[in-house]
């Protein structure tokens, strides 16, 4: 992923997906809820934390990020977001092909379809 940082007299500009196919999403996780633990094969995700009080897990490593922290999640890396007590938001920039068909769930609290065991052994 290309990141460009430009200094300006009034501050700066940080461009995340300069001239690349991407999708930008606002993810909202309700209090004490979580996304599935999942991965994508066809895209990388960049998460920018907008609210504190979230727990981020990437490939088994757990973080308690502050507002403004950023996480780059390469394709095929398992990840999830959990809200600890209040509603939390994450700005997600998907770099590459974005489709719900490219979401492979490992665990899910809501009974949605999971991937087959052999697929989860990345």
CA separation for the pair 85, 107 (Å, rounded):
21
What's the pLDDT band for 49 if we cut at 50, 70, 90?
very high
Mean pLDDT (the chain) is 91
Q: Among candidates 81, 71, 90, which has minimal Cα distance to 26?
A: 90
Residue 118 has pLDDT above 90, yes or no: no
Which DSSP letter does residue 38 get? E
Residue 1 has pLDDT above 70, yes or no: no
pLDDT score at 19: 77
CATH level 2 (architecture), domain 21-120 = Sandwich (2.60)
Average pLDDT over residues 13-35: 91
Question: What ranges do the domains of the chain cover?
Answer: 21-120
Query: Which helix (H) or strand (E) covers residue 49, if one does?
Result: strand 43-49
């Amino acid at each position: 992923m290309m990141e460009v940082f430009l200094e300006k007299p009034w501050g700066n500009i940080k461009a995340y997906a300069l001239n690349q196919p991407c999708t930008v999403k606002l993810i909202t996780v309700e209090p004490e809820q979580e996304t599935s633990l999942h991965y994508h094969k066809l895209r990388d995700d960049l998460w920018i934390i907008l609210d504190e009080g979230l727990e981020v897990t990437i490939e088994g490593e757990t973080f308690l990020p502050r507002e403004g922290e950023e996480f780059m999640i390469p394709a095929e890396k398992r990840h999830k977001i959990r809200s600890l007590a209040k509603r939390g938001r994450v700005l997600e920039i998907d770099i590459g092909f974005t489709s719900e068909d490219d979401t492979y769930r490992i665990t899910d609290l809501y009974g949605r379809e999971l991937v087959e065991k052999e697929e989860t052994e990345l």
